[in-house]
Amino acid sequence: MRGIQPRRNCSPFNRMIKEKYPDAIVCTDVALDPYSDQGHDGVVEDGVILNDVTINQLCKQAVSQARAGADIVAPSDMQDGRVKAIRDALDSEGFTNVSILSYTAKYASAYYGPFRDALDSHPGFGDKKTYQQDPANGREALIEAALDAQEGADMLMVKPGMPYLDIIRRLKDNSDLPIAAYHVSGEYAMLKAAVERGWLDEKDVVLETLTCFKRAGADIILTYYAKQAAQWMKEDGLY
């Protein structure tokens, strides 16, 4: 698979970052869809995602990323049983200190559009509703969180963020693991579009958005606004 060949994934960049900034924490995405011509998060055969075959490839990708210096690997595929398999694969290769940030509650959301446009990774057939979570089902996230914790996850992700603040709160109340919120491309694009039209003040609305993630219980926030937000908070003396 292209996703595990060193020159075609993020491994060279991992090494460059770790060499230049040895104290930086590098977190990498474990997924096949950026490398697939069908845009799905797994190995496809006759229109079916092969769960176990996919997991085997994800394990190879995670080990490759760890070998290149990743401190955290983040499987975003939503295949069943992949957290335990990746944990076992990392441990067997001696990467016992590499953590797993599991995409625990990744919803079949309409908010991923700008990202998929940028990567040209829209599904080539069907959709991802057979393996990503139903936006109408809030209880499934609790089941998945318990399973991921049992399988060895170190952190749990909710994606997207703002439409699922209630899920962030539920996971925070029901798990001792750190909770991450992903402020995805569609959320970012909505704010950018409103700012460009003069409808919103960019700094104020972004910091309010990030604050709502923290208020809901997020310990970690992933956002395309990370660099700008850090600069704004530094200027305001917030850290």
Contact 135, 48 (CB under 8 A): no
Question: Virtual CA dihedral for 99, 113, 10, 126, nearest 10 degrees?
Answer: 90
Which three-class secondary structure state does DSSP give residue 206? helix
Whether 84 sits among the annotated catalytic residues: the reply is no
Token reading at 103: 């995409």
Whether 106 sits among the annotated catalytic residues: the reply is yes
Q: How many CA atoms lie within 13 A of 160 on its CB side?
A: 18
CA distance 121 to 118: 8
Contact 24, 18 (CB under 8 A): yes
Distance from CA of residue 95 to its chain's centroid? 20
| Beta-ladder partners of 181 | 158, 221
Single out the catalytic residue among 106, 129, 214, 234.
106
Single out the catalytic residue among 18, 159, 214, 227.
159
What are the catalytic residues? 106, 159
